[in-house]
Structure 1
Amino acid sequence: MRRVSAQWASTITTTHTIVTDVVSYLGESERLATVPITAGQIVYDATARGQRRCQITVPLIDGGTRWDPGSDPRHPLASYGQRLRIRTGVRHPDGTAELLEHGQYLVNEVTVDETEGTVNVTGADLYALMEQCRITENTLSFLPTGDSYLLSTLRLTYARLNVDDTRILNAGWTDEVDDRRTLSAPVETPEGADRTPILDSLCAAWPAQMYVRDDGLLVFDQAITGPAATPVARIQAGTTGTLVTRGRRAARQRVYNAVYATGINPDTGAVRARGSAVKTTGPLNVRGPYGWVSRWYTSPFLTTTAQANATARTLLARGTLYARTEEITAAPDPALQLNDTVDVVSPGGGTFRGLISSITLPLTAAGGPMALSVTNDTPE
C-alpha cells in the first residue's frame, strides 16, 4: 500500500473530490507541460510483464492550446519518447489535496477526434522500453567469447530503464538491496533476441518478481506467493465502507497443483538437478477430484536439488493463487497497489483475504468506482 497521511482513511470513506495531475516529460527529466484531462483510467495487472497502462482523454483545444501533436516530435503528447507522469489522490475536507505517485507511462498511441473535440492517449508501462530494445551485440571485454554471457552472480536490486545499453540487462545498478544468489549458467544473447524471456528465467530460478515501480525503476524483488498475515486494508460494505459490488470467479485454466523443475547443463543438455512440489491436501489435492494438473519448468540456472525444489515450491504457490478470485467494485482508493493483501467483507459473502491482482482506477469522478480482482488459494 502506498504511504498516506493520517487523514486518508476517513476521507476515502466519505464524500470527497478526486484530484489528478498529469505532466508530460520528454525522456526522464525534460518537463514539457501539465496535461488537462476530462477522463482517464489506469489499469494494473500483476500477471502481465508490463504491469500498468493508462488511457486519458484530453480536450483538443484548451485555453488556446491545441493538444493534437500533429507532426511535432516535441509536442507533450507525441510518441517520440514522451512520458506521462500521473499522480492521483483526494481532496480532504480541510481543502488540502493529497496526491500519490502512480507511475510513468510511455506515450504509445494518440487518436484525434475533431468532431468530438478530443485527443485520446494510451500510455504503456516503461517495461516496454526494455521489451523493444532487443540485443544487438556482445562486445564486453570481460565476457567469454561466443554468443553468451556467463552470469555467475546476479544482484537482487534495481535497474534504470533509460540507460543507453544494448547488453542483456539495462544496467545502472545501485546497492539499495544486495541479496546475492549464485546462478551459474550461460545466457544466450544472439543478435535480435528479446532480453525479457532471459530475465523471466532468472526470476523463476531465483525466485524473484520483476516489475517497474512508481518512480520508473525496474525492480527485482522477493517473489509473492500468497497473502500476508496482516491485511493493509479492509474493503467492506455498509455506510462506513467502500465496497459497491462483489462477485466470485473460478476457473481451471490458470491453476495447476504439481510442478516439476529440472536443471540442465546448457552445453550438453544433461540433467543435473530435479525438484518437485505438489498439493497433497485441500480441494486441489493431486489425488482428489480436481485431478493432476502439472507444470514443467526447465532452466540452466538450477544446479542443485535444493534449488530445483525451492523453484518448484514457488511456482506451485503462484499456480494455486488463482483458484478463487473475488471481482469487486469499490470507491476509488489510489493508495492500494498490486499484491497488497486486503480483506473483502460483506454480509452475504463473509470475509475473504487475498492479494490484489488487478486494478482499474478511474482518474476523474465521472469514471465511477474502481474495479479490483482479489485472489487466493481456496482454503484447506
Structure 2
Amino acid sequence: MLEMSPDALSVVQGSHSIYIRAESWLDGELLAAEIPINSGGEERDRSAAIPESVRLNVPRRDRGVSWEPIEPDHPLGAFGQQLRIDYGVDMGGHIEWINRGWFLITSSETDGDTVAVQAEGLLTLIDEAKFVGPFQPALGDTLASVSRALVEPALTIAFDGSLVDRPVPQGMQWDTDRLGALREVLGAWPADCRVTEDGFLAIEPLVDTGPPVLSLTDGVGGTVMRWQGGASRDGAFTVVVAQGEDADGGQIQGVAYDDDETSPFRAGGPFSPLPVPHYHQSPLLTTVAQCRTAAATTLRRLRRSASRKLGVSMVPHPGLMTGDVVSATGAGLTSQPCMIEALSLPYTPSEMHLTVRVLNG
C-alpha cells in the first residue's frame, strides 16, 4: 500500500472529498503543474502486459488557457510527455497528497469542448522499443546486466537485495520483442517487475503472500463483495514442466505438481487422474535446480488466473495498489487474506472496484 498518514487512512475509510492533481513533464522539464480535470480514472491489472492506464477528460479551454494539444511540446501531447498523478484527501484544513505514479501519454483527442487524454504505464516505453537488430548478451553478462541493457535508460531499475544474480548462457538471442525478452529473463531468475510510484522499475522476488494492509467487511461502509464466476477446462493444467539446456546442450527439466488439496486442478484429483502439463521453456535455465525453481514459480504465477476471485465495490481508497493483501469478511469468508489483482480508481466521486484473489483457499 502507498504511504499515507494515520489520519488520512482513517479519513478514506468513509466518505471523503476527492482532489486530483496532474502534472505534465517532458524530458525532465515541467510543462504544466495544474492540469484541469473534469473526470477520469485509473485502471490496474496485474495480468496485462502494461498493467496501468489512466484516462482524463480535460476542458478544451480553461481560464484563458488552451488545452488542445496542437503543438508537439504541448503538456497534453503524445511525444514523450508523462503525467504525474496525485490523489488528494481533504484533512479538514489541508490536503494530503498521495502519489499514484507516472504515466506516458499515448493519445489526446479533442471532441467539442473536451480533450480526452489516454495514458499508459511506463512499461509502454519498453514494449514499443522493438529491437532494430538481434539482441545478444555479451560475454560475462548476468541476469541483472541483461535486464539493465533491455530497459535502461528508458527506465531505471531497482533490484531487490534478496535476488541472487547469475551468468547468462552464451548463444542467447532475441529478435524483436524487448519486453518479451525481459519477461523471459525474469521468468528464469525467477523474479517479477513493477513500476513504482516514483517511476522506477522494481525487480523483486515473486511474492504471493504478505500481511493484510486493510480489512474489508461486506455491507460495512458501503463495501459490497460478490463472487466472480466462470468455469472452463481450456488451458487448465495440473503440473508445470520447466525445460532448459545444460552446458553440453542436453535437455534438462524440472517439474512442479499442483499439490494444493483445495485446488480444483490438483494433481491426481477429480479434474484428471493423469498429469495435464503446462510447459515452460527457456535456454536461460541451465541446471535442474533452476528448472525446478522456475516450474514452482510458474505454477504460482499461473494459479492467479485459476484461483477464486471476489469483486469488491467500496469507497475509493487512494493507498491501495495491485499486489496488496487485504482481509475479507463476507461472501462466506471470515478474515480471509486476499490479494488485489485488478482495481479501478475513479478520479471523481464514485465507487472504487477491486478484483481480489482468495489466498490459501
The reply to whether TM is greater than 0.5 is: yes
The aligned counterpart of 2:182 is 199
The residue correspondences of 1:1-380 to structure 2 (distance < 5 A) are 1-70=1-70, 72-92=71-91, 94-114=92-112, 117-136=113-132, 147-150=136-139, 152-155=141-144, 167-171=149-153, 177=161, 179-186=163-170, 187-190=172-175, 193-224=176-207, 226-228=208-210, 230-239=211-220, 241-252=221-232, 256-264=237-245, 270-271=250-251, 273-282=252-261, 283-291=264-272, 292-322=275-305, 323-346=307-330, 349-365=333-349, 368-376=350-358, 379=361
Distance 1:196 1:129 in 2: 9
Q: State the shift of 1:276 in Å.
A: 0.3
The number of aligned residues is: 352
Distance 1:353 1:227 in 2: 8
The aligned counterpart of 1:142 is none
Q: Deviations over 1:275-334 (max 9, x none)?
A: 000113423322112234421011111111111111111111122233211111111001
Deviates further, 214-223 or 8-17: 8-17
Q: Deviations over 1:166-205 (max 9, x none)?
A: x534255667747432143233144xx2211111111111
Aligned partners of 2:157 and 2:203 also within 8 Å: no
Distance 2:229 2:197 in 1: 29
Aligned partner of 2:131: which letter? I
Q: State the shift of 1:78 in Å.
A: 0.9
Distance 2:191 2:82 in 1: 27
Q: Which has the higher strand share?
A: 1
- Residues 281/363 of structure 1: CA separation in 2 closer, same or farther (3 Å cut): closer
Q: State the shift of 1:99 in Å.
A: 1.4
The aligned counterpart of 1:162 is none
Distance 2:40 2:147 in 1: 30
Identity over aligned pairs, percent: 27
- Residues 304/328 of structure 1: CA separation in 2 closer, same or farther (3 Å cut): same
Alpha carbon RMSD of aligned pairs, Å? 2.6
Return the TM-score normalized by structure 2.
0.89
Aligned partners of 2:236 and 2:265 also within 8 Å: no
Distance 2:77 2:255 in 1: 49
5+ residue gaps, structure 1: 139-145, 160-166
Distance 1:281 1:307 in 2: 22
Distance 1:242 1:104 in 2: 30
Q: State the shift of 1:112 in Å.
A: 1.1
Distance 1:53 1:288 in 2: 40
Aligned partners of 1:340 and 1:355 also within 8 Å: yes
Distance 1:196 1:336 in 2: 26
Aligned partner of 1:68: which letter? E
- Residues 347/73 of structure 1: CA separation in 2 closer, same or farther (3 Å cut): closer
Q: Deviations over 1:14-55 (max 9, x none)?
A: 331011101111134433342110100010011122110100
Secondary structure, aligned partner of 1:259: strand
Deviates further, 40-49 or 247-256: 247-256
Distance 1:255 1:359 in 2: 25
Distance 1:156 1:332 in 2: 40
Secondary structure, aligned partner of 2:318: coil
- Residues 329/293 of structure 1: CA separation in 2 closer, same or farther (3 Å cut): farther
Secondary structure, aligned partner of 2:319: coil
5+ residue gaps, structure 2: none
- Residues 222/103 of structure 1: CA separation in 2 closer, same or farther (3 Å cut): same
Aligned partners of 2:89 and 2:95 also within 8 Å: yes
